[in-house]
Structure 1
Amino acid sequence: MTSPSQGDREKVVSKLPARLQQDLKIRTAQHGIDIQHAVEEGITAWRGLGANRSPIDTAGAKSFSTWLPSGQWEDFRKDCAARGVSIVQGLSQSVQVWLEKNPAPDVQRPVVVKRRIICNQKGGVGKTAITAGIGEALAEDSDSLHPVRISKHFAALLTENLEVSPLDYEDLPGLGQRVLLVDFDPQCHLTKQLGHEPLPIDGDSLTKHMAGEAKGALRDLIVEVTDERFGGRLHLLPACTDAFLLDVKLSGVRAREAALERALAPLEDNYDAILVDCPPSLGLSMDAAAYYGRRRPGEEPGNSGVLIVVQAEDSSADAYALLTSQIEDLRSDMGLELEYLGIVVNHYDARRGYIATSSLENWMGIKDPRVVGVIGDLKEQKEAVRVKRPLLAYAPRCDQAVAMRALAREIS
């Protein structure tokens, strides 16, 4: 069945098995092409075959429509009649031919592992939630579609009244990356929120590895964040409360700024991204984390660096100034190429009035580093923490989840 034309294309309506419709939607998104062009290519390839293919089970086929070049559908119908197959069968085989000719692309792996340091000297701004959310978004299944907020620039989040405006969503394939979340905070929030127990204080830990007191291999401490959408790609290095002693222990360590890098280096080949959830501190542990996020020789700009999490209120601005001062001192004193990945304004709620909206305006006014994400203060994140589940598994289509996916892509 054909409908009125659109330029040099005409709308066609038929049926297609739900499985093929879903596979077609995912595969075209993976290759970045329109469904209509994939169907056009599939029909052309099917018509060029010298023999019929094995029949496809079309029982329960559902309505399907697309736009094809004028005349292609009529020629296709004639070919189906000549080959003795139904229109639905011919269309199903055509889509299957295209899928076979265009297999799912491999996930792109970075040449140098991406190291993201999520930090702010102020506690309570939501560093842990941002670390977990980005990691979850990076690890989601690349053979499934997930809703992502679409925005060319985060200034588009603001209306004239500085309120977050509704944005379009788009279903995109997951990024499928292998991710390690490092809980670097002695309060162990990341560990607990993801449903795991902190490491026992009398056992091995990241602190002991950094201090040269390791009892075994660090990889033996890593646990998996389990959910089918992550497919075994999302891992956690749990924290231990002995991290409260880290600054004291580091004071006697040789080249203490490189202590975190020495500890994590043996793990890097197993991951595409390592995210470090930092404590609210400006001590030696923050120096070690920042050093780990520096740009290494030959590493592309933007591959690694510091992501600063703030809130839309005045105390975050004070903490931001202290943190950036420390980072600038490290840059200067050690000659580091330490990049800012951006600022994330977390827990934003315009209903809190002038303090929130004017503060957000000030954050948006900073151009270097720029705001790369605004995450709303909504109930789903709190609920996910309460039930000790990853946000993107607990509420994968909530506004915070789609914003986390956009943030992960923004800094990738």
Structure 2
Amino acid sequence: MVTPSTAGDREKVVSKLPSWLRQDLKVRAAELGIDIQDAVSAGITAWRSAAPEACPSVDTSGSSSFSTWLPPGQWEDLKDTCAKRDGLPFAQGLAQSVQMWMSTHPSPRHRPVSGVVQRKVVINQKGGVGKTAIAAGVAQALAEDGMRVLLIDYDPQGHLSDQLGVEQLTPGTDSLVLHMCGEAKGALTDLIVTIDSPRFEKRLHVLPACPDGFLLDAKIAVARMRNKEAALERALQPVEKDYDAIVIDCPPSLGMATDAAIYYGRRRPGEAAGISGMVIPVLAEDSSATAYAMLADQIESLREDLNLEIEYLGLVVNLYDSRRGVVATSSLREWRNLEDQRVLAVINDLKEQREAVRKHMPLLEHAPYCDQSEGMRQIARQIS
């Protein structure tokens, strides 16, 4: 529907837009100090001049009413272009236009300030605490907000790769393990997969797992290399220039592979504080506190033995459900009161993450504004 303004310089247009895209547009326009109507108008102009193959489809399910003011005739121009593109729905044309404006106007937040790639090591040797969900969610939140992100499935079990629908690497072929041990034949970039989702605009990449990761501790132990703790850093150094942030989903282990990940996440010379370091998912239960103490001992040993600056970026209390009673509520209180540590977020045990895993798709694509997705954004804002 189009309603002329009294001044005649704009027309009120009423269409539909997905709630998540409408919210993104509102936030991005505010960040850049641009009126929403001007952003939409610029997006329509760019979309109409772009080739159809350069305009990926947008999931418009759950769209609701959206109104804005456009220059006279621009809405009719959009409708004409939709007709020429095989009868594309008008709401889809508008959504693609807004998405195109978003992709060419990234958020001013979360830019590297030191010229050093940010390194987030999601770590805990205890299994079942949700390291994979937190690593994936944080990486998605960073990519959604304009950063180029490499998400590394460092766990040979490959849960991260499977959850995102990325095929694991075949044993016997090049892998991160072979690059770490100096035995690779090709370039590491050849192994990296782009997550094909308009939400991340090709900024989210994954280095898949390979089952040969089960041999990593043994291979590092017998390898003839200097500074074995730096094996992961040497392997990733060639691709660091391509990314703003690298997020590592660690295996549940206290072995050499974990030492290499901790070393990689240390604070480098000239790097700002609070940017690179350890993100530790925990549960609100007693056994998780015991596991955390063991991990802290390992981190402190590396810090002292190699004279490293290793930062705890914070804890994430994951899979929380207060209905589990006093054990859960008292454990949460103890995590929050832990000296020299902070809780970045409490992620409730809700269905959206499990649904995303079942669908083999990113959480922030499956349910962009569920409580869990907002929790991932909360973590990302505090550590970037």
Q: 1:236 and 2:203 equivalent?
A: no
- Find the aligned partners of 1:32 and 1:407 in 2 and give their Cα distance: 25
Helix, strand or coil: the match of 1:251?
A: helix
Q: 1:266 and 2:267 equivalent?
A: no
Q: Residue 252 of structure 1: CA displacement?
A: 2.4
Corresponding residue of 2:55:
none
Corresponding residue of 1:342:
314
The CA deviation string for residues 254-313 of structure 1, in whole angstroms up to 9 with x for no partner, is 211000000000000100000010000001111100000001111111120011110001
Corresponding residue of 2:111:
109
The CA deviation string for residues 345-368 of structure 1, in whole angstroms up to 9 with x for no partner, is 000000111111111011011142
Corresponding residue of 1:286:
258
Helix, strand or coil: the match of 2:222?
A: coil
- What are the within-5 Å matches in structure 2 for residues 315-394 of structure 1? 315-394=287-366
The CA deviation string for residues 9-38 of structure 1, in whole angstroms up to 9 with x for no partner, is xxxxx974459x969835542236998xx9
CA contact (8 A) 1:16 1:58 kept: no
Q: 1:57 aligns with which of 69, 73, 76?
A: 73
- Find the aligned partners of 1:328 and 1:292 in 2 and give their Cα distance: 15
Partner amino acid, structure 1, of 2:374: V
- Find the aligned partners of 1:371 and 1:208 in 2 and give their Cα distance: 36
Corresponding residue of 1:405:
377
Q: Residue 369 of structure 1: CA displacement?
A: 1.6
Q: 1:202 and 2:178 equivalent?
A: no
Corresponding residue of 2:159:
189
Tell me which stretches of 4 or more aligned residues in structure 1 moved more than 2 Å. Answer: 14-19, 21-28, 31-35, 54-60, 103-109
Corresponding residue of 1:214:
184
Q: 1:296 and 2:268 equivalent?
A: yes
Corresponding residue of 1:132:
136
Corresponding residue of 1:91:
none
CA contact (8 A) 1:120 1:308 kept: yes
* Count of aligned pairs between the two proteins: 308
CA contact (8 A) 1:17 1:58 kept: no
- Find the aligned partners of 2:167 and 2:276 in 1 and give their Cα distance: 29
Helix, strand or coil: the match of 2:270?
A: coil
- Find the aligned partners of 1:198 and 1:121 in 2 and give their Cα distance: 22
- Find the aligned partners of 1:409 and 1:180 in 2 and give their Cα distance: 17
**Which range is displaced more, 26-35 or 259-268?**
26-35
CA contact (8 A) 1:211 1:250 kept: yes
CA contact (8 A) 2:32 2:108 kept: no
- Find the aligned partners of 1:360 and 1:332 in 2 and give their Cα distance: 30
Q: CA 1:402/1:298 → structure 2, altered by over 3 Å: closer, same or farther?
A: same
- Find the aligned partners of 1:390 and 1:225 in 2 and give their Cα distance: 9
Q: Residue 106 of structure 1: CA displacement?
A: 5.2
Q: Residue 109 of structure 1: CA displacement?
A: 2.9
- Find the aligned partners of 2:283 and 2:337 in 1 and give their Cα distance: 15
Q: CA 1:356/1:325 → structure 2, altered by over 3 Å: closer, same or farther?
A: same
Q: 1:25 and 2:41 equivalent?
A: no
Q: Residue 322 of structure 1: CA displacement?
A: 0.2
The CA deviation string for residues 86-134 of structure 1, in whole angstroms up to 9 with x for no partner, is xxxxxxxxxxxxx9xxx77656531211000000010010000000000
RMSD, matched Cα: 2.7
- Structure 2 unaligned spans of 5+: 1-9, 40-69, 77-100
- Find the aligned partners of 1:251 and 1:139 in 2 and give their Cα distance: 35
Q: CA 1:330/1:106 → structure 2, altered by over 3 Å: closer, same or farther?
A: same
Q: Residue 208 of structure 1: CA displacement?
A: 0.7
- Find the aligned partners of 1:329 and 1:225 in 2 and give their Cα distance: 37
Helix, strand or coil: the match of 2:317?
A: strand
Partner amino acid, structure 2, of 1:308: I
Q: CA 1:55/1:289 → structure 2, altered by over 3 Å: closer, same or farther?
A: closer
- Find the aligned partners of 1:386 and 1:368 in 2 and give their Cα distance: 37
Larger radius of gyration: 1
Q: CA 1:245/1:266 → structure 2, altered by over 3 Å: closer, same or farther?
A: same
Partner amino acid, structure 1, of 2:366: Y
Corresponding residue of 1:177:
147
The CA deviation string for residues 297-346 of structure 1, in whole angstroms up to 9 with x for no partner, is 11111120011110001111010000000000111010000101000000
CA contact (8 A) 2:107 2:146 kept: no
Q: CA 1:15/1:392 → structure 2, altered by over 3 Å: closer, same or farther?
A: same
Helix, strand or coil: the match of 1:226?
A: coil
TM (norm. structure 1) is 0.70
CA contact (8 A) 2:230 2:264 kept: yes
Partner amino acid, structure 2, of 1:345: V
Helix, strand or coil: the match of 1:372?
A: strand
